[in-house]
Amino acid sequence: MLSLVLPARAGVRLLPAASDRCVVERIVDGDTFWCRDGRKVRLLGMDTPERGQGEGYILAREALLELMPEGATVLLERDVERFDRYHRWLEWVWADTVLVNERMVADGWAVLFTVPPNIRYVDRLTSAEMRAREEKRGLWATDGFACPPADFRRKAC
């Protein structure tokens, strides 16, 4: 269920209803975390370096922790498919008025990673990645995505 929020100047925007609140229990990595109620959540639309990818993994995890500190309350917004094959909740995550998924990509700590049909904010994340690459933000400054996380998992690099 979604509730309508009217920001001061930006027009109409949809945010998740209060029933989709989550208190952050623990950050696993740059794209996965646990809620205090036991849900394991995977952020939609983005992918971050894996544990075996060195400093990129650490920096992405720290970036997510900064956006959503343990104990903070975030809002979860579902898309079409609710769970992935690992039984994680697939969510768009809001910290106050910040779409965390987009911010991670915009700051260069995550790459665009879409799995249809969960593509609600794909245009926003695509633009965010283009700007991050052009401006060499985050891991783009150090060639930290020379081996994208999806390729790393497939042992392609």
Structural domains of the chain sorted by starting position, each given as residue range(s) with its CATH number in brackets: 15-153 (2.40.50.90)
Segment 9-29, tens digit of pLDDT? 344 445 555 459 999 999 999
The pLDDT value given to residue 16: 57
User: Tokens at residue 157, please?
Assistant: 């690099």
User: Tokens at residue 73, please?
Assistant: 């309350």
* Angle, CA of 86, 120 and 65, to the nearest 5°: 60
When pLDDT is averaged across residues 74-86 and rounded to a whole number, the result is 96
Specify the DSSP element, H or E, that contains 125: helix 122-134
Query: Max Cα separation, the chain?
Result: 48
CA distances from 100 to 30, 106, 152, 153 (A): 11, 10, 23, 23
Considering the chain, what is the average pLDDT of its residues? 90
